[in-house]
Amino acid sequence: MNAPDGFKQMLSVVTRLWDDEDYAAALAEVESMLTSWPGNAHLHVLRAGLVQLEEEPTHELDDAKRALHLAVEFGPGSPAAAIELGHFLDHVEDDPRAAAEAYAAGVAVARRLLLDGLIGQAKAFRQLDKSAEFRRCLMEILHLTRFETGPKRTELEESGADVFFESPAGHFHVVQLTGSYAGRIQELLGGVNSDSPTR
């Protein structure tokens, strides 16, 4: 059994124990896995959840919080740990201010992942001549980029061109491409035929 297979198999044991509400056994399994994979962010998130679910506590609640901070540190590209930390801070510590910061960090990472996926998906639909699906992706991309707070751009970079397009529902929209995704969206629109609703 190689390492990835072993990991997957052990994780499925954790899932079964969690499903059976045997949280103490699931926690012991996760802690055993952490000795082999100490830098795995997902395992730290699982550990934090199981520490909270123990009926007969063997850990302090602060251990759960520390596990979530470790998960954030080990998985900066994954939104799950920061969002889970937000839940802990709000629901367990009743600290909505700290929770809002953690959620914001997780949501920003999740949004960037989603934008990356949608831009890739739009390109694939364009190659397949699936214009309705392409436009649906474009709508989502343009909507999400409105909330994107990337690195500060120069005035020239911010003065993007207006783009007209028709949504799959038949509504016309005008947007100005600004922000860190402007270039990639411009590239996406560049491949659209002149008789299509985007220009």
61, amino acid identity: L
Task: List the one residue from 47, 68, 88, 137 that touches another protein (CB under 8 A).
Answer: 88
Query: Shortest Cβ distance from residue 75 to another protein (Å)?
Result: 17
For the chain, percent helix, then strand, then coil, each to nearest 5?
65, 5, 30
- Stretch near another protein under the rule CB under 8 A, chosen from 13-21, 100-108, 113-121, 170-178: 13-21
160 neighbors 178 (Cβ within 8 angstroms): yes
Residue 10 near another protein by CB under 8 A: no
121 neighbors 137 (Cβ within 8 angstroms): yes
Residue 93 near another protein by CB under 8 A: yes
113 neighbors 79 (Cβ within 8 angstroms): yes
Residue 19 near another protein by CB under 8 A: yes
Task: List the one residue from 94, 155, 162, 195 that touches another protein (CB under 8 A).
Answer: 94
Q: Which two tokens stand for residue 145?
A: 């980029």
Residue 92 near another protein by CB under 8 A: yes
Residue 36 near another protein by CB under 8 A: no
145 neighbors 160 (Cβ within 8 angstroms): no
Beta bridge partners, 163, equal 175
Classified as helix, coil or strand, 115 is helix
Q: Cα dihedral sign for 154, 159, 161, 165?
A: positive
- Stretch near another protein under the rule CB under 8 A, chosen from 11-19, 110-118, 128-136, 191-199: 11-19
Q: Which of residues 49-68 bind another protein (CB under 8 A)?
A: 49, 51-57, 59-61
| Choice between 20 and 116, CB closer to another protein | 20
Per CB under 8 A, residues contacting another protein are 8, 12, 15-19, 21, 23, 26, 49, 51-57, 59-61, 87-88, 90-94
